[in-house]
Amino acid sequence: MLLLFDVGNTHTTVALTRDGKMFEKYRISTKKYETEDELYVFLKSLYGGTVIEGIATVVSSVVPSLNIVFEYFANKYGDGNVYFVSSTDYNKIVWNINYPKELGADRVCDVIAAYKEYGKDCIIIDYGTAITIDVLKDGVYEGGVIMPGFAMMINALFKGTAKLPLVEVKPYDGFIGKDTESNIRIGTINATVGAIKYVVENITKEYNTPPVIIHTGGHALYVQKIVDGVVDRDLTLRGMYYFYEEKKNSAC
């Protein structure tokens, strides 16, 4: 059994897995835990009678300040081993960017899983607090794009203006709004989807053969009908598992 933590700026996905294929997972607020004991109590409330003690921990985190919590948790409740995902600790892929160490752990996981399962030519779009686009070409990671996420754009309008309301994160069926809410949804959700489509179409021109386009993350379904590709909701978790397998085998 393996315990996985995909720590995002807003939410953390917690998952238990035996084989890296099936996951018993929950999505919680990243603000829910600040100590190893709080984390343990929270996990016991989620998993009930399932044994979570004495097993290895894998962490993909974009919130470095929480790393110490997982280290303490692994030492007190786990098997003492915690594996933090990083591009510099995974040499099966060439990271052809200026500063590989700066690449977010979630993006590293996405790229690892895409390479393992979809091949050497992939464009991966992850819809989280920020939207990231990652480019894998001939088995080499060539870089990517970072955009504001859907909720971030809506919150920016709400917090940065006096009268604009906070609206639901949901695409609008059309491109001419008849009220304030529809105007905002078109200008944030629909327009961002259009930007993603434009960027992906231009990246695709860099390939000799069409790449596999993969959508993952919380809002991936919003884009599926507009931007070609497959939706793979557990891509990041499987990438974490592959990272763990590589680290475990290299230590043998």
Nearest alpha carbon to residue 131 among 60, 46, 188, 71: 188
Helix (H, G, I), strand (E, B), or coil: what is residue 190? helix
Question: Is 13 annotated to bind ligand?
Answer: yes
Q: Say if CB 211 and CB 123 are below 8 A apart.
A: yes
Question: Is 81 annotated to bind ligand?
Answer: no
- 252's CB contacts (< 8 A; 6+ apart) are none
Question: Is 108 annotated to bind ligand?
Answer: no
Give the DSSP letter string of 196-249: HHHHHHHHHTT-SSPPEEEEEETTGGGTTTTS-SEE-TTHHHHHHHHHHHHHHH
Instruction: Give the number of other CB atoms < 10 A from CB of residue 4.
Output: 26
Find the angle CA(66)-CA(152)-CA(129) to the nearest 5 degrees: 40
Q: How far is CA 14 from the centre of its chain?
A: 12
Question: Is 82 annotated to bind ligand?
Answer: no
Task: Work out whether strand 130-137 and strand 140-148 pair parallel, antiparallel, or are unpaired.
Answer: antiparallel
Can you tell me which residue has the tokens 């763990």?
Answer: 244
Question: Is 106 annotated to bind ligand?
Answer: yes
Of the residues 19, 37, 89, 106, only one is catalytic, namely 106
Question: Is 12 annotated to bind ligand?
Answer: yes
Question: Is 217 annotated to bind ligand?
Answer: no
Residue positions counted in the chain: 252
Question: Is 236 annotated to bind ligand?
Answer: no
Concerning whether 106 is annotated as a catalytic residue, the answer is yes
Question: Is 180 annotated to bind ligand?
Answer: yes
Question: Is 233 annotated to bind ligand?
Answer: no
Amino acid making up residue 119: G
Instruction: Give the number of other CB atoms < 10 A from CB of residue 6.
Output: 26
Q: Which residues does residue 230 pair with via DSSP β-bridges, in sequence order?
A: 214
Question: Is 219 annotated to bind ligand?
Answer: no
Question: Is 78 annotated to bind ligand?
Answer: no
Question: Is 232 annotated to bind ligand?
Answer: no
Question: Is 6 annotated to bind ligand?
Answer: yes
Catalytic residues: 106
Known binding site for substrate: residues? 104-107, 180
Known binding site: residues? 6-13, 104-107, 126, 129, 180
Known binding site for ATP: residues? 6-13, 129
Known binding site for K(+): residues? 126
